[in-house]
Structure 1
Amino acid sequence: MTYRIGVSGWSYASWRGDFYPEGLVQRRELEHVASRLTAVEVNGTFYSLQRPSTFERWAEQTPPDFSFALKGSRYVTHLLKLVGVETALANFFASGVLLLGERLGPIVWQLPATSPYDPDVLGHFLALLPRTTQEAARLAARHDDRLGPDRAVTETTVDRPIRHALEVRHPSFTHADYAAQLRDLDVAGVWTDAPKPWPVLDLPSSSIAYARLHGHTRLYASRYSDRSLDAWAERCRGWHEDGRDVHVYFDNDSEGHAPHDAERLLERLRPT
């Protein structure tokens, strides 16, 4: 069991000259993040399909024990709304995801606040998700022409587990059936911390625990207090004692607090 504490994205101008030292070239920012934290959540995979060369570069810039949590495609979650997504999923996993190898962490799927709980739609979607890299490679082989031969990665040399997490924002997900469905399908329910009225769910449904901290009082902006981070550290230790790998990603990035808060939480979790 490990603590994966990091930030959601790393390319922010407000971090330069602060978390990033003056003079650090932009192409070395990920390397700097990896020297200070243990994981990162990738935003780019949410907005568009990346290239294999991008995943290769990320792997080259980070140590083997660093973890990349990837945000699943918004085309799947926001446009298709989880229906008829087989080809879109194939394209996502063929885009180069498998090139991260041992650095590949969970895939987090974020549903919009307008999407209510539909157990049938959700169950079908979650059952489609690959649970190992070999399953992901077989799914990737079904990609369409959006990915030409030079852009598709459909093979892997190792077979490793792939974990999935789901962030929901509609109040109907507080239904008890949702928690049971996550447990049955071994999917982590994301703890979402934000000032918006999104449901806060602590669902021990998977071998991982996953939290996204968007800013407790101001969305994407507010700094976490020492008292708040003490409480988060205690929560993380509890998840760890339950036998779960712990993933916490700070998304309060607009004023530059995210990397510092992640470091402060990680320091609280280091062995004394």
Structure 2
Amino acid sequence: MIRIGVSGWRYAGWRGDFYPTGLRQKDELSHVGERMSSVEINGSFYSLQRPTSYQRWRSSVPDDFVFAVKGSRYVTHMKALRDVETPLANFFASGPLALGPTLGPLLWQLPERLVFDEELVATFLGLLPRSHGEAATLAARHDDRIVDERAFTQAEVTAPLRHAFEPRHESWNSPTARALLADHGAALVHADTAGRFPTMGDGTADFHYVRLHGEQKLYAGGYSDETLDAWAGRLVQWDAAGEDTYVYFDNDIDGRAPWDALHLLDRVSP
């Protein structure tokens, strides 16, 4: 399975370009869903969303679409993975489970300052739910930051949950870090950041998670045909090996992300 899409979809600069002139903002996700197989929800990184938002997003796309959900920055950046059982419960109670079968991997983007600490990371990995059912159990332990009538704590499907980590400190580029992630079946993200942060992704899980933030300039510019060809080759190899892949373009500033996603899709689609 190869899933390709974009990181977020509500960008003013895409209107009148990728989004046809006159397309209603509420129809933009549907436009993405008609052309791509996945999208990364990044609003969940900045603040807790509501179950009604997740339900609305789910209803805007085909049934076989997949959402990746970016974990809360309160957990990753403000708490730096420490003492986060309740914040994690609040995050899962805020609505990701409302995506039901369209819920894909959870992305945990870590701050550049976060040095790899084996004990800390092992504790955090031990808190993460491995299935929809475990996520529902964790969500039920939310505090009053999520009022009961706005909490979503039911598991609609019986399915595993996948987790991917995008560290930005070189200390994570170690055999110890990889082994720990592998022990928990968590993926180390293949991140292209135009040289800004270390590139360290490799096979720590039975799936791959790729974030393409920019080839020459972070969050901007586009990807060359040669680079897209190279990525397509890697995706096809992983697919042939029975390994699922999720790819998200985050070079949104110049509006190239959705077009690069479509060009990569063209290269790997039958």
TM-score class, shorter: over 0.9
Which is further off, 59-68 or 198-207?
198-207
Specify the code of the residue in structure 1 equivalent to 2:195. Answer: K
1:61-107 deviations in Å (ceiling 9; x for gaps): 01111010000000000000001000000000001111101100100
Question: Retained in 1: the 8 A contact 2:196–2:218?
Answer: no
Partner of 1:267: 266
1:23-48 deviations in Å (ceiling 9; x for gaps): 10000000000001100001100000
Question: Retained in 1: the 8 A contact 2:185–2:206?
Answer: yes
What's the TM-score, normalizing by structure 2?
A: 0.98
Instruction: Give the whole-Å Cα distance in 1 for the aligned partners of 2:145 and 2:128.
Output: 20
Q: Does structure 1 residue 18 correspond to structure 2 residue 17?
A: yes
The alpha-carbon deviation at position 53 of structure 1 amounts to 0.6
Instruction: Give the whole-Å Cα distance in 2 for the aligned partners of 1:149 and 1:45.
Output: 19
The alpha-carbon deviation at position 201 of structure 1 amounts to 1.7
Partner of 1:126: 125
Instruction: Give the whole-Å Cα distance in 2 for the aligned partners of 1:196 and 1:116.
Output: 19
Question: Retained in 1: the 8 A contact 2:101–2:157?
Answer: no
Partner of 1:202: 201
- 1:1-272 to structure 2, matched below 5 A, reads 2-271=1-270
Question: Retained in 1: the 8 A contact 2:191–2:201?
Answer: no
RMSD value over aligned CA atoms? 0.8
Instruction: Give the whole-Å Cα distance in 1 for the aligned partners of 2:76 and 2:23.
Output: 36
Q: How many residues align structurally?
A: 270
Give structure 1 regions of 4+ aligned residues with deviation exceeding 4 angstroms.
none
SS at match of 1:234: helix
Question: Retained in 2: the 8 A contact 1:173–1:199?
Answer: no
Instruction: Give the whole-Å Cα distance in 1 for the aligned partners of 2:236 and 2:204.
Output: 17
Specify the code of the residue in structure 1 equivalent to 2:261. Answer: A
Unaligned runs of 5+ in 2: none
Instruction: Give the whole-Å Cα distance in 2 for the aligned partners of 1:263 and 1:65.
Output: 18
Which is further off, 100-109 or 240-249?
240-249
What's the TM-score, normalizing by structure 1?
A: 0.98
1:107-154 deviations in Å (ceiling 9; x for gaps): 000001111111110111011100100000000000000111211011
Instruction: Give the whole-Å Cα distance in 2 for the aligned partners of 1:110 and 1:92.
Output: 15
Instruction: Give the whole-Å Cα distance in 2 for the aligned partners of 1:223 and 1:155.
Output: 41
SS at match of 1:248: strand
Specify the code of the residue in structure 1 equivalent to 2:214. Answer: G
1:222-264 deviations in Å (ceiling 9; x for gaps): 1001000000001111221222111000000001000000000
Sequence identity percentage:
53
